[in-house]
Structure 1
Amino acid sequence: MPSGTPAPALHYALLLFADFGHIAPTLGVTRELLRRGHRVTYVVDERFAAVVEETGARAVTYTSARGDFYRSADPTADQLAEDGYRLLVDTVHTVFPTAMEAFAADRPDVVLYDFETVAAGRVAARLLDAVPVQVCPSHAANESFSMRAQMWDADHPVMAEGAKVMIGFMGEHGIRLDEMARYGAEWDLRNLVFLPRAFQIEGDTFDDRFAFVGPTFSEPPADSARWTPPGDGRRVALVSLGTEAGDRAGFFRQCAQAFDPAGWHVVMTLGRDSDPAHLGPLPEHVEAHSWLPHPQVLPYADVFVCHAGMGSLMEALHYGTPVVALPRAHELALSAQQLERCGVGRALPRTGLTAPALAEAVAGLLADPGTPAALARMREAVRTAGGAVRAADLLETWAAGRHAVPAAG
């Protein structure tokens, strides 16, 4: 349904993994849906209720078993498998019943879910007779590219236990054995991907089941309070490892040492629950914040040093800022490698990182004659993908034509 065409008021439900990086890409879509007169309900970990409610959406909360998932710098195969199993159990034993209770008397028309909430989202959509839509905060998967294979060893014994949980859960809710492969697939018939096709791994292999709408964040209003650069001609480096706090003081001190105070001003965002005082005294060319919206700094930044979270990367590429990525684990390393393939960044391992190595990576990236053109191409791809408006258009279209084969592009 084209943007601006009145649509019947609908109810959209979101069942998402308990991580800010999974929730944040949907907030712009939620604001757009609410602006059009729809209702939006999140089934969300209690820690993220406030950020959801700030949009005007309703938050139905639970307490996630997520714990310290994603905080380990170098998880073993056993840790990855155990974490994945624990999260699967959490989605079917906690997220799913919470959603079904919340929607028993208030059925949604569309259920959106992500890679980590496949079981709960798809079964809930079936039982509620809602349109299922998979959202992808990171790279999507299809017949050619598997995120699951990249993250988990299919032969690990814990994966077999997870398969038993899935089969039991689906069977309990009336899904036949011959249907289970479709319900356990890594993608759906309708998929919203919050990055441009140009940044998707093996992007040319994805068909019209996948809508690459790009990031959905809004630029800061012109009259809002904004960070301003020092104004002395020095380059600006933005440094962050994402929104969540952790034991990162050593990393940030290394970054402070990597940038020459004569030529650089460094802005650090440490994590929403962090205290800059824990870093100890910092050089005069470094400022540290618990958090600062990156779109305030990126228009002025010459480089962004980050963990390769997709939200951070999309913000950087929206402004044409090159990235030095220091991935922690999981799919972040894939995104860091994709930066290099696209010519818009460099990847370094977090383990064994030194200030000279980081300084060398930054210098090499900025000196590469191909970097500006590659950044311009990716900036254009990000800015023309459609964002929240296109995502909302598609959701309305998919809801209206619920029994049709979707076309996304």
Structure 2
Amino acid sequence: MPPGTPTPGRHYALLLFADFGHVAPTLGVARELIARGHRVTYVVDERFAPLVEDCGARAVTYTSARGAFYRTGDPSPDRLARDGYDLLVDTVRTVFPAARDGLAADPPDAVLYDFETVAAGRVTARVLDAVPVQVCPSHAANETFSLRAQLWDPGHPLMAEGASVLIDFMGQHGIGLEEMGRYGAEWDERNLVFLPRAFQIEGDSFDDRFAFVGPTFTEPRPGLWSPPADGCRVALVSLGTESGDRGGFFRLCAEAFPASEWQVVMTLGRDTDPAALGPLPAHVEAHSWLPHPAVLPHADVFVCHAGMGSLMESLAYGTPVVALPHAHELVLSARRLEERGVGRNLPRAGLTARGLADTVAGLLADPATPPALSRMREAVREAGGAARAADLLEAWAARSPAVEAAG
């Protein structure tokens, strides 16, 4: 079957970590699949149900016990291990039963899952005879590069407890010790990666098991935001959808960009009231949330936390980034910006308005920045986005046990 040939009636299920940054990168793919006549179901934390239903998908909901995982700045190794263990337990005790029961009446042809839902996703695919597909909203892992090794201490006592949870869970579903290595690997035989290969750490080491399709976001509707009429430069500032304000960060950014030269657009987080910042200078506007693609075509710089969704949106429009990562793989992504010449990595600790202003000025004055941005923007465009992802999923779903048995 040629790529892009629709096969009406296929069913795709997604089991994703309860975080906007994990759900949002898949929505463009879901829209594309639905437009081709397929069905899409998300097994998702209840607070994301409106988001997925808005794109035409069905939501099977549960209440996540995620807690503060990925929200706490600079967590200790003990805190990170505890949060990771609690998340693993939640995926096998809550997410998997929700998926098994919610999908049983209409079994999917493919099950998509991510780094944090590996156990639930792979076992769901096995139980329901579906093709497992790992999706990567951030850097993928293979035999050369391990994201897991960057995050977890293998000697921590909770790692052994987590292994015991996995062994028990898989054993309950007929997966013996001889198979557990495959079920516990950091990657699958089919992997969709929502960044271009050029941005992936050790990108040249990844083989054809990995499809680097780049970002899949859709253009926002017109009229959400308009650039300043006076032609001032625009700085977009965000710490992501859930990070919120920390230590007066947003007020510091307001000081870093002088009113005579800049219009500053801040997105504070979906649960943050702009009034909480207090009075702001006239050249600063604060929003609880605003789709970044509404602003990025007009922005001269994007100051952000180095979340991969934010980075991919920025690089798709050729906007340079000043990244202030706070934890986890965000630090790796911020370093990657510098390696590719498209941004600067600025430590959050000890940050001052003058330090931020000087970093922005240096980035914009660097003659190597525009060509580097142009190369990365082209890499994003050539990756294929939602259309290529849907082509691949159609081809992979055609090999599912259920489809092959039917015909």
Residue number among 374, 377, 386 corresponding to 2:375 in the alignment? 377
Superposed displacement of residue 4, structure 1: 4.3
1:40-72: CA deviation from partner (whole Å, max 9, x where unpaired) = 111000010000100110000000001221121
The one-letter code of the counterpart of 1:282 is: L
Name the residue aligned to 2:405: none
1:240-284: CA deviation from partner (whole Å, max 9, x where unpaired) = 011115343600000001111111110000011111000001111
Contact 1:245 1:272 in 2 (8 A): no
Distance in 1 separating the partners of 2:330 and 2:243 = 17
Name the residue aligned to 2:84: 84
Name the residue aligned to 2:125: 125
% identity of equivalent residues:
78
Distance in 2 separating the partners of 1:56 and 1:212 = 25
**Does residue 72 of the first structure (1) align with residue 75 of the second (2)?**
no
Instruction: Please give the residue correspondences for 1:3-402 in structure 2 after superposition, counting only pairs within 5 Å.
Output: 3-221=3-221, 224-244=222-242, 246-248=244-246, 250-402=248-400
- List gaps (5 residues or longer) in structure 2: 402-407
Contact 2:301 2:321 in 1 (8 A): yes
Superposed displacement of residue 229, structure 1: 1.3
Distance in 1 separating the partners of 2:140 and 2:243 = 27
Superposed displacement of residue 2, structure 1: 3.5
Distance in 1 separating the partners of 2:243 and 2:237 = 14
Name the residue aligned to 1:406: none
Contact 2:11 2:110 in 1 (8 A): yes
Contact 1:82 1:158 in 2 (8 A): yes
TM-score, normalised to structure 1, is 0.96
Superposed displacement of residue 399, structure 1: 1.2
Contact 1:3 1:389 in 2 (8 A): no
The one-letter code of the counterpart of 1:133 is: V
Superposed displacement of residue 167, structure 1: 1.0
1:126-163: CA deviation from partner (whole Å, max 9, x where unpaired) = 11110000000000000000000001111111111111
Contact 2:215 2:312 in 1 (8 A): yes
Distance in 2 separating the partners of 1:209 and 1:370 = 33
Distance in 1 separating the partners of 2:265 and 2:2 = 41
- List gaps (5 residues or longer) in structure 1: 404-409
Aligned-residue RMSD, C-alpha: 1.1
Query: Which moves more between the two structures, 184-193 or 244-253?
Result: 244-253
TM-score, normalised to structure 2, is 0.97
Distance in 2 separating the partners of 1:218 and 1:345 = 24
The one-letter code of the counterpart of 1:317 is: L
Contact 2:71 2:243 in 1 (8 A): no
Do the aligned partners of residues 238 and 119 (structure 1) sit closer, same or farther apart at CA in structure 2, a change above 3 Å counting? same
1:159-215: CA deviation from partner (whole Å, max 9, x where unpaired) = 111111111111111001010000000000000000000000000000000000000
1:51-110: CA deviation from partner (whole Å, max 9, x where unpaired) = 010011000000000122112111010111001000000000000011111122221110
Distance in 2 separating the partners of 1:294 and 1:284 = 21
Superposed displacement of residue 3, structure 1: 4.6
Contact 1:249 1:279 in 2 (8 A): no
Query: Which moves more between the two structures, 80-89 or 228-237?
Result: 228-237
Size of the aligned set, in residue pairs, is 401
Distance in 1 separating the partners of 2:311 and 2:354 = 23
